[in-house]
Amino acid sequence: MKSSEYNRKDFFDFPDQDLFEPEEDQAETLWDHIRTLLKAGVALIAILGMVHLSGLYQYFVYQRTPQVIEQEPVETLLSAEKMAVPLTVFIIRNDEILGSLRTRADVDRLTSNASVIWQQADIDLEIESITEIVLSDGEIQTLLDYPRTITFVSDQYNKKGINVFLVSSLQGINGVAFGGMHSVFVADFTTVVDFRVLAHEVGHVLGLGHISTDKRRLMYRGSNGFALTLPEVMTARARAFEF
């Protein structure tokens, strides 16, 4: 009887097993937290990737410029004779993703506001023609990948002016210039005002490069700056003589 009672006492008085493994339990808990965070990170990346691929990022970052926004007047840096740079505008249409939604009134607003910016150099951007052309998304991408094919897109292509191609999206950029082809592309949906994008890309065709020191400048990438410097004005006017 005493032996039985002793055994029961020893059994029930045995210390809690958890007291012998605190470090192991804590390690497992920490690892569980790490795994949870890793899973959440992977899920977030997957969701963001799906949003980007579906084009929904347009609605969060890229917007169409409201028609009520206009470029403020600027002062000329030279008070020189006016120079006209002709623009041949192509509105690329299709029922897919990259076809432009712009109207001819949008083109007039886009160009006139960009021209105000270029008054600093006494340069007028003048529309010579507006042409609507139908290209598939694949054909648009070919133009972007192989700029030399731009000359074949239409018999309206102008070697003596700047060719402006308007599309809905440029897959993450506002605009792009192909100086050697005298051509620029401007998206409908941009992160900055669209006429500033056009003025910026025209700057590239007129020989100007990017600057990285002042967001107020036209050639600063991805801002709403519009200021030109005197050296930039002189460079642009010298190149404009080609037109």
Q: Are residues 7 and 105 in the same domain?
A: no
Give, for all 243 residues of the chain, the pLDDT tens digit: 444 444 434 433 444 444 344 444 455 577 777 777 787 777 666 555 554 444 554 556 789 999 999 999 999 999 899 999 999 999 999 999 999 999 999 999 999 999 999 999 999 999 999 999 999 999 999 999 999 999 999 999 999 999 999 999 998 899 999 999 999 999 999 999 999 999 999 999 999 999 999 999 999 998 999 999 999 999 999 999 988
Q: Are residues 25 and 140 in the same domain?
A: no
Q: Are residues 76 and 150 in the same domain?
A: yes
- Domain assignment present for residue 179? The answer is yes
Helix axes 194-205, 104-117, angle to 10 degrees: 60
pLDDT of the residue at 60: 61
pTM for the full predicted model: 0.77
Q: Are residues 10 and 122 in the same domain?
A: no
pLDDT of the residue at 2: 45
Q: Could you tell me the CATH number of the domain that includes residue 139?
A: 3.40.390.10
> Cα separation of 204 and 208, whole Å?
5
- Whether 218 and 227 have beta carbons less than 8 Å apart is answered as yes
> Cα separation of 68 and 60, whole Å?
21
Write out the residue range of the structural domain in which residue 84 sits. 65-240
pLDDT of the residue at 30: 74
